[in-house]
Amino acid sequence: MKRNQTKRRALPKLTRAELLALLLTAAVIAAALVWHFAGRQRAAHVSVMPSVAAAAMAAEKTEAQTACININTASAVELQTLPGIGEVLSARIVDYREEHGAFAQIEDIKNVYGIGDGIFSNIQARITVGAATVRAEEDDR
């Protein structure tokens, strides 16, 4: 034997059953890895909720959308449930109310900077000034 030549050891021969089992195992592992990583990507985009919690959240949202909010007494958080009213506008409404007093009619909310006809048309069916509040103001005059 020459110096540069090394003796190679021969791998043991596999039977057909062993080769089939090896290939099947490799295929199952590959499928499991694909399923695992594909599931993680989907999970990042889709949030799964138990059906009871989802139903409760839907009921709260529907109730919040149909209930009238008194703009003279609502907190900034409550005002944010109105369409088009975020943190900034709700803070402006509260600030305006504290500076100028209670709103006499719902249209007066358009005096708040940032609330025009567009936002008003989206919220007018869901806001009120409250009859008791208006009467109390009239008594003070």
pLDDT of residue 134: 40
Which of the pair, 89 or 139, is modelled with greater confidence?
89
What is the pLDDT at residue 119?
93
Structure confidence at residue 71 (pLDDT):
94
Which pLDDT does position 104 carry in this prediction?
Answer: 93
Q: What's the pLDDT at 133?
A: 40
Distances in Å between the Cα of 59 and the Cα atoms of 11, 78, 121, 127, 128 are 67, 17, 24, 20, 22
Q: Is the pLDDT of residue 64 over 60?
A: no
Alpha helices, DSSP H, located in the chain: 16-45, 51-66, 76-79, 87-100, 117-123, 131-140
- pLDDT digits over 104-121, tens only? 999 999 999 999 999 999
Are the C-beta atoms of 123 and 86 separated by less than 8 Å? no
pLDDT tens digits along 36-50: 887 666 555 555 556
